[in-house]
Copies of this chain bind each other. A is one copy, B any other.
Amino acid sequence: MQVGETQWSAPERKIANNALEIACQRETDALIREVRKGVGELNAIEDLWRLHDFLSARRHYIDGKYDDSEAGIVFVLAGLVKEGWLSMDELDGLDEAKLAKITALNRFF
Contacts and interface: CB of A to CB of B under 8 A. Distances in A.
Interface in A13-48: 24, 28, 31-32, 35-36, 39, 42-45, 47-48
Interface residues of A, number: 21
A28 B45 contact: yes
A31 B24 CA distance: 29
Contact of A35 (B42, B56, B58, B59): B42
Instruction: In the A-B complex, list the 6 residue pairs whose CB atoms are closest, starting with the nearest.
Output: A52-B55, A28-B45, A32-B42, A39-B39, A36-B39, A52-B59
Interface of A: 24, 28, 31-32, 35-36, 39, 42-45, 47-49, 51-52, 55-56, 58-59, 62
